[in-house]
């Protein structure tokens, strides 16, 4: 007989640390039941049938979390290893933005109504144009920051001197780009290559980055950094 999802979650102690709210900001509620001599949990605004479906899906998700990267969540900067590993993502992103064209790499940032604040292109961040030596005309949006942070702009104060990952190669990892050229390691090849040709056929690269959560990383990092400057109140 299949176990009841609610009972599985209750016995496992999941409810004690579970936070839940839906698009209507309805939250999980709890109350002590004298009949069962324990705390029972309910989802506000949900029918018993809807609750049962949510509990069942939660059990399935907890039993099979899928495959995500260590830096997937917006809270990843709280892990000290984030600051060791993440700079290479910045360098990879610079390389792509310097090399790609709109024909072979799509970095369109669409609005996601389900995303928490700080991840969408028009969400404001605490920084102004002064960060880039420009007049303060109000807080910048994610989209504006993304544009100003392009390594091809005068506002970006730095650019990487190379786009090699020799330490990975030394460990036996094949870091060869899978586009038109067999290798992008040599400075001669990189400098003598037309930027529109480097990422020809880069659809596979786009897919890899989407699967890795790279596109959301920009908003996630900015959102996490924003929390350092924005006071929060526990409710």
Higher pLDDT, 140 or 92: 140
Task: List the domain boundaries for the chain.
Answer: 5-63, 76-229
Q: How far is CA 153 from the centre of its chain?
A: 24
Instruction: Pull the structure tokens for residue 194.
Output: 């037309």
Q: What's residue 26's pLDDT? A: 62
Token couple for 9? 């979650």
User: What's the CA gap between 128 and 220, in Å, rounded?
Assistant: 18
* Angle of helix 214-229 versus helix 203-212 axis, rounded to 10: 40
The string of pLDDT tens digits covering residues 91-126 is: 888 887 877 665 667 788 889 888 888 889 999 999
Radius of gyration, CA atoms only, the chain: 23
Residue with the larger pLDDT of the pair 31 and 228: 31
Q: pTM of the entire structure? A: 0.45
Residue 146 near residue 109, CB atoms below 8 Å: yes
pLDDT at 174 over 90: no
Whether 143 shows a pLDDT value over 90: the answer reads yes
| pLDDT on residue 152 | 84
In angstroms, the CA 47 to CA 20 distance is 16
Instruction: Please write the tens of the pLDDT for every residue from 64-87.
Output: 877 766 667 777 888 888 888 777
Report the phi/psi class of residue 13: left, alpha or beta, with left for phi > 0 and alpha for psi in -120 to 50. left
Per residue in 33-47, pLDDT tens?
999 899 999 888 889
- The more confident residue out of 147 and 186 is 147
Q: Report angle CA 226, 231, 235 to the nearest 5 degrees.
A: 120
Most confident of 8-22, 86-100, 117-131: 117-131
Query: What is the reported pLDDT for 167?
Result: 82
Q: What is the per-residue pLDDT for 212?
A: 38
| Higher-confidence position of 148 and 96 | 148
Query: Of 62, 70, 106, 93, whose CA–CA distance to 212 is shortest?
Result: 70
pLDDT for residue 122: 94
Q: What is the pLDDT of residue 203?
A: 35
Instruction: State the pLDDT confidence band at 138, using cuts at 50, 70 and 90.
Output: very high
Q: What share of the chain is helix, strand, coil (3-state, %, to 5)?
A: 40, 5, 50
Q: What is the tens place of the pLDDT at every residue in 181-229?
A: 333 334 444 344 333 333 333 333 334 344 334 444 444 444 444 443 3
Buried b (16+ CB within 10 A) or exposed e, 62-83: eeeeeeeeebeebebbeeeebe
Residue 130 sits at the vertex; the CA angle it makes with 129 and 131, to the nearest 5 degrees, is 90
Name the band, by pLDDT with cuts 50, 70 and 90, for residue 21.
low
DSSP 44-106: TT--HHHHHHHHHHHHHHHH------TT-STTGGGSTTHHHHHHHHHHHHHHHHHH--TTT--
How many C-beta atoms lie closer than 10 Å to residue 100's C-beta? 20
When pLDDT is cut at 50, 70 and 90, the band that residue 130 belongs to is: very high
């Amino acid at each position: 007989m299949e176990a009841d999802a609610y009972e599985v979650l209750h016995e496992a102690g999941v409810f004690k640390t579970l936070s839940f709210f839906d698009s209507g900001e309805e939250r999980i509620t709890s109350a002590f039941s004298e009949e069962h001599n324990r705390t029972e949990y309910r989802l506000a605004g949900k029918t018993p049938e809807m609750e049962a479906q949510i509990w069942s899906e939660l059990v399935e998700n907890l039993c099979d979390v899928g495959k995500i990267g260590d830096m997937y969540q917006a809270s990843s900067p709280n892990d000290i290893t984030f600051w060791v590993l993440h700079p290479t993502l910045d360098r990879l992103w610079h390389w792509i933005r310097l090399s790609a064209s709109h024909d072979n790499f799509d970095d369109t940032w669409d609005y996601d109504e389900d995303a928490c604040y700080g991840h969408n292109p028009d969400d404001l961040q605490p920084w102004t144009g002064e960060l880039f030596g420009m007049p303060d005309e109000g807080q910048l949006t994610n989209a504006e920051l993304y544009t100003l942070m392009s390594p091809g702009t005068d506002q970006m104060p730095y650019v990487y001197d190379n786009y090699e990952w020799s330490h990975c190669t030394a460990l036996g990892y094949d870091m060869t780009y899978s586009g038109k050229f067999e290798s992008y390691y040599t400075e001669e090849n990189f400098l003598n290559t037309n930027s529109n040709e480097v990422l020809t056929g880069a659809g596979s690269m786009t897919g890899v980055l989407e699967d890795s959560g790279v596109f959301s990383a920009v908003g996630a990092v900015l959102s996490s950094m924003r929390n350092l400057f924005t006071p929060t109140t526990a409710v």
